[in-house]
Amino acid sequence: MDLLQPGMRIVSLDRPWTQVPVLFQGFTLSDDSQAQILRQYCEWVLVEDEEKRLIPVLDQISALKRRTTEPLPETRSLQQELPRAQATWSRTQAFVEEVTRQIEAGNDLNLQSARPIIRECVDSVKANASAMFWMSRIKSRDAYTAEHCLRVAIFCVAFARFLGMPDEDLETVGMCGLLHDLGKLKVPDEILNKPGALTPEEHSIMRRHTTLGYELLRADPHLDPIISDVSCHHHERMDGRGYPKQLAEWQISRFARLVSIVDAFDAITSDRSYRDGLPASDAIRILFRNRGQQFDATMVEAFIRMVGVYPPGSLVELSTGEVAIVLATHPGRKLKPRVEILLDRDKRAVAPRVVDLGSTGSEPGQGTPGIAQPLPDGAFGASLRDRIKQLMAVADKNAS
């Protein structure tokens, strides 16, 4: 899908033509906007073209598949990117808060203004995704819906990039993530944040957030149709038991499948007003267990390779007793990320030191340590928030 080019003739789709917003059945791609629509909705399409044009494209397939076995590329260090990531995070959060106020006041929305903000998120993720991942782990129990949308947007951009989607798709998938739960802002707060099990009637009201969001987004003629599609269908399931329309697997768009995985991962790992979030390792087990039933199996497996068992920003205790914070993961070494050691084996602060747990280049007789256990943020006085503050202070000092 991500190798479509103008000039290719589209012969058939993995779904009926009526399920995709194109004007004709069987057409030749005249520009990338048509290819972009197909990438948003379809898992695969059948094309016809001259052999001399198709061979170079087919040769790229193996390289594209390798993308999900390699770490996300970085052009800036985590320390270099954190200031921009923090500023971008704050601007995007302010946008979501403003949208919330406008919906509560019943005012018209200017959702297209989100695109330049998402563009900043894309630029930051492309430079060093771990910086935004770190920001996403600073969570507020009382601001779940707004922060959830922001975190989903960031992870959707990173995941789409990890899958090898073209750069022009990253903004759109980020918009899908940012606005996917907009309908929840119209759900009564006493239901949205109820500190207990919902009644059947309350469940029905909660589920309406998908159609409420769809109606809000569809009303904006400037938004790409896939954004309202994702809002409506991100709770559909591969086994046809999702909502609101119990769609079959082939009816669920590619972007909706992607967002549903990220949405579930963040929901499982986030604190709510009525429960504490689960560790990322538990969320990964839940996603894996439900692959092929609730979630797209291939995408789940790729997502797990991207985030690892210990996502960036996680606090861990090493087999040496030292305490470290995860800097970045490697798809081929999910249990052996790159970490920064903050505390020694006696849990005393030390000068931060970076160790790649997956490295085989240790000195003779000195094995590279492993991770003994994940730790809650703040354990032994070490916290992600404090480390971000330290790095920001260094950046400010260097800039002055």
- Beta-carbon count within 10 A of 363 CB: 7
Give yes or no for residue 84 having a pLDDT over 60: yes
* The pLDDT of residue 3: 83
Contacts of 227 (CB under 8 A, 6+ apart): 172, 175, 176, 179, 217
Mean pLDDT computed over every residue of the chain: 91
- The confidence band for 142, taking pLDDT boundaries of 50, 70 and 90, is low
Dihedral sign of CA atoms 20, 24, 27, 32 in order: negative
* The pLDDT of residue 165: 92
pLDDT in tens, 222-258: 999 999 999 999 999 999 999 999 999 999 999 999 9
Contacts of 237 (CB under 8 A, 6+ apart): 293, 294, 295
Contacts of 99 (CB under 8 A, 6+ apart): 109, 111, 182, 185
Give yes or no for residue 400 having a pLDDT over 80: no
72-76, 136-140, 149-153, 160-164: which has the minimum mean pLDDT? 136-140
* The pLDDT of residue 1: 65
Does residue 35 or residue 362 have the better pLDDT? Answer: 35
Give yes or no for residue 264 having a pLDDT over 70: yes
Whole-model pTM above 0.95? Answer: no
Does residue 30 or residue 142 have the better pLDDT? Answer: 30
Q: Which residues of 271-300 are buried (b: 16+ CB within 10 A; e: fewer)?
A: ebeeeebbbbeebbeebeebbeebbbeebb
* The pLDDT of residue 251: 94
DSSP state of 378: T
Give yes or no for residue 63 having a pLDDT over 80: no
The mean per-residue pLDDT over the stretch 149-168 comes to: 94
DSSP state of 250: G
Alpha helices in the chain (DSSP H): 32-41, 51-59, 61-66, 78-105, 114-136, 144-162, 167-179, 189-192, 200-207, 209-218, 225-233, 254-269, 280-289, 297-307, 384-399
**CA-wise closest residue to 71 among 1, 154, 158, 132:** 158
Report which listed range, 92-106, 120-134, 359-373, is most confident.
Answer: 120-134
The mean per-residue pLDDT over the stretch 117-126 comes to: 96
Give yes or no for residue 362 having a pLDDT over 50: no
Give yes or no for residue 134 having a pLDDT over 60: yes
Superfamily holding 78-307:
Hypothetical protein af1432 (1.10.3210.10)
